[in-house]
Amino acid sequence: MREKTLQLLITFSSTVQAMSMEAQAHAAGLPGRLIPVPTAITAGCGLAYKAPLDSRAQLLELMAEAGLEPEQVVEMLL
Amino acid sequence: MIYLDHAATSMPKPPEVGQAMVEALGLGNAGRGAHGPALAGLRTAYQVRCQVAEFFQVPGGAGQVVFTAGATHALNQALVGLLSPGDHVVTTAAEHNSVLRPLYQLEQQGVELTIVPVDQLGRISYEEMERVVTPRTKAVVCTHASNVTGNVTDLSWVSRLCQQHGVLLVVDGAQSGGHLPLSMENMGIDVLCLPGHKGLLGPQGIGLLCVRPGVTLRPLLVGGSGIQSFSHTHPTALPDGLEAGTRNTPGIAGLGAALAWLQGQGPERLWAQTQERLRQLYEGLRAIPGVTIYGDWSTFHRAPVLAMNLEGWEAAQLSDVLYEEYGVATRPGAHCAPLMHLALGTGEAGAVRMSVGHATTFQEVADTIAAVAQLAQEG
């Protein structure tokens, strides 16, 4: 069984929000990538942005500046 | 061939359009999974939504840009999604059947329909519109520019009227998108419907529905969404909520390449170029005895179409001879705009429509004028 680590997961109500998140995070040099939403989470658009826990503050700040509203921000063993 | 049917579909497309479409065949299904090809498809769609949002100044940005199969699909989605039995809707006699037929169908279902007339020059009666739009009206649906006369609707005026009464403004931009300045933000448009393959120079089979935040449309199509599969209802968040099924990713990519080309060339420069050819066509044809040109030509702020008839010639016959003997491609008939033709007095025979594009040359227009002049002498 692969060992799981705690990760930050951000979900969105639409694919456009998810795409915008990916574009802006990568443009800002922040870590993370889009993954299929794990079954345990009820999420809108089917995509979640997965990133290391220590990037949480920077990612949320970037989202606030960009006007991106997360559907959920959770920490999860993945 | 001299192609004067850009109002039906533009050609040639920039070479980048075809290239982008071919490359898009290697993309995955946007919104279905999160593997590389699927995300690449989604990124393409997102990028083109951003381009559209910027080009038409869509309030709310990329998330309010919905891809459709064309302007007809977009208009059907807008009207069927917005109107319910008991609602009052106002439209004009300048409309294409892609507006009129959905509204006639809705009228059968209990929507109250009022059609504002146009005069013999195809000009919308704003006085009548002011009289019939009331606070109980749900929406005004009108074209930005007539596909027959090229007359431009004063959308700023219509928008002010709508705002006074709390009425939504739905605009058919089929003949103006890519040809004339068109801003949802500046013009106060609530829903904008566009084809990708006319003035925007994209491929056929792709269209746009741009929706102001706060305007809710019931989906015309429901089905596969890639998410919430156990729900009996389709997701509602835009744009996914109005894009059931697999998107036309090659069409989207082609449209994106076309928009990039337009932006690179400078839309204002292309508009000016097209208007110059239209002016040349108008001046040349109106000097020919027996030619009747329809519409209000007191201004050249208009869509690049010209509807005409030649004395002694039936429209279909004239169009056929122009193509067969002179290689000039035009469009005869009623142009899916029956109420406009009734107002113009052209009847069921309609007229010959000539529509220029940015690639139309001075010589092509000169040759067309010479062809009509020769046929006028025959007549």
Domains, chain A? 6-77 (3.30.70)
Non-local (6+) Cβ contacts of B166 within 8 A are B135
Is residue B153 within 8 Å of residue B142, measured between CB atoms? yes
Q: What is the pLDDT of residues B256-274, one digit of tens each?
A: 999 999 999 999 999 999 9
H or E stretch including A19?
Answer: helix A15-27
- Statement: residue B24 has pLDDT above 70: yes
pLDDT of residue A43: 63
Non-local (6+) Cβ contacts of B3 within 8 A are B11, B329, B357, B360
Mean pLDDT over residues B147-151, rounded?
98
Burial of B323 by CB count in 10 Å (0-12 exposed, 13-18 middle, 19+ buried)?
middle
Q: What 3-state DSSP class applies to B355?
A: strand
Answer whether B63 sits within 8 Å of A34, measured CB to CB.
no
- Statement: residue B242 has pLDDT above 80: yes
**Chain B residue whose CA is closest to A41:** B228
Contacts of B239 in chain A (CB under 8 A): 14-16
Answer whether B46 sits within 8 Å of A17, measured CB to CB.
no
Least trusted range by pLDDT, from A69-78, B117-126, B278-287, B359-368 = A69-78
Answer whether B46 sits within 8 Å of A36, measured CB to CB.
no
CATH of the domain at B365: 3.90.1150.10
How many structural domains are present in chain B?
1
**Chain B residue whose CA is closest to A17:** B63
- B34 to each of A31, A38, A41, B31, how far by Cα in Å? 17, 12, 16, 8
Strand B88-92, strand B137-143: pairing: parallel
Q: Sheet harboring B291-293: ordered strands across?
A: B291-293, B305-310, B351-355, B331-333
Q: Measure CB to CB from residue B62 to each of A16, A43, A47 and give the nearest one.
A: A16
**Position B346 in a domain:** yes
- Statement: residue B33 has pLDDT above 90: no
The token pair that represents B179 in the structure block: 């040809």
Average pLDDT of chain B to the nearest whole number: 96
Angle between helical axes of B249-265 and B15-24 (0-180°, round to 10)? 150
Question: Cβ of A26 under 8 Å from any chain B Cβ?
Answer: no
Is residue B113 within 8 Å of residue B164, measured between CB atoms? no
- Statement: residue B64 has pLDDT above 80: yes
The token pair that represents B290 in the structure block: 């027996």
Is residue B170 within 8 Å of residue B211, measured between CB atoms? no
Of the residues A22, A24, A45, A68, the best mutation for testing chain B's interface (the one with the most B CB atoms within 10 Å of its CB) is: A45
The identity of residue B345, as a single letter, is G
Q: What is the pLDDT of residues B220-241, one digit of tens each?
A: 999 988 888 888 989 888 999 9
> Could you tell me the residue range of the domain that residue B371 belongs to?
2-9+266-378
pLDDT of residue B137: 98
Measured CA to CA, the distance from residue B33 to residue A49 in angstroms comes to 13
- The shortest C-alpha distance from B23 to chain A (Å) reads 20
The token pair that represents B141 in the structure block: 């649906």
Is residue B213 within 8 Å of residue B59, measured between CB atoms? yes
Question: Cβ of A13 under 8 Å from any chain B Cβ?
Answer: yes
- Statement: residue B379 has pLDDT above 80: no
Contacts of A22 in chain B (CB under 8 A): 43
Secondary structure (DSSP) of B180-210: B---HHHHT-SEEEEESSSTT---TT-EEEE
Angle between helical axes of B362-378 and B267-286 (0-180°, round to 10)? 20
Of the residues A14, A39, A68, the best mutation for testing chain B's interface (the one with the most B CB atoms within 10 Å of its CB) is: A14
Q: Please, which pLDDT band fits residue B378 given cuts at 50, 70 and 90?
A: confident
Q: What is the pLDDT of residues B83-95, one digit of tens each?
A: 999 999 999 999 9
Of the residues B47, B67, B210, B240, the best mutation for testing chain A's interface (the one with the most A CB atoms within 10 Å of its CB) is: B240
Listed in order, strand segments (DSSP E) in A1-78 are 6-11, 33-36, 47-51, 72-77
Which residues of B lie inside 8 Å of A (Cβ-Cβ)? 30-31, 33-34, 39, 42-43, 45-46, 49, 62-63, 226-228, 235, 237-240
The token pair that represents B374 in the structure block: 């020769």
How far from each other are the two terminal CA atoms of chain A, in whole angstroms?
12
Measured CA to CA, the distance from residue A53 to residue A43 in angstroms comes to 20
What is the ipTM, given to two decimal places? 0.89
**Position B239 in a domain:** no
Is residue A30 within 8 Å of residue A59, measured between CB atoms? yes
**Position B314 in a domain:** yes
Answer whether B226 sits within 8 Å of A46, measured CB to CB.
yes
Is residue B85 within 8 Å of residue B110, measured between CB atoms? yes
Answer whether B240 sits within 8 Å of A47, measured CB to CB.
no
Hey, which residues does B192 pair with through a beta bridge?
B171, B210
Q: What is the pLDDT of residues A43-68, one digit of tens each?
A: 678 899 999 999 999 999 999 999 99
Angle between helical axes of A56-66 and A15-27 (0-180°, round to 10)? 120
Please list the alpha-helical segments (H only) found in chain B: 15-24, 36-55, 71-82, 97-108, 126-132, 155-165, 184-187, 249-265, 267-286, 315-326, 338-344, 362-378
pLDDT of residue B59: 98
Measured CA to CA, the distance from residue A53 to residue A48 in angstroms comes to 14
Q: What is the pLDDT of residues B154-196, one digit of tens each?
A: 999 999 999 999 999 999 999 999 999 999 999 999 999 999 9
Q: Measure CB to CB from residue B237 to each of A20, A34, A44 and give the nearest one.
A: A44
**Position B156 in a domain:** no
Is residue B71 within 8 Å of residue B144, measured between CB atoms? no
Radius of gyration of chain B from its Cα atoms, rounded to whole angstroms: 21
Question: Cβ of A66 under 8 Å from any chain B Cβ?
Answer: no
Answer whether B63 sits within 8 Å of A23, measured CB to CB.
no
- The shortest C-alpha distance from B117 to chain A (Å) reads 41
Measured CA to CA, the distance from residue B192 to residue B65 in angstroms comes to 10
Question: Cβ of A17 under 8 Å from any chain B Cβ?
Answer: yes
**Chain A residue whose CA is closest to B225:** A45
**Chain B residue whose CA is closest to A46:** B227
Average pLDDT of chain A to the nearest whole number: 92
Answer whether B49 sits within 8 Å of A36, measured CB to CB.
no
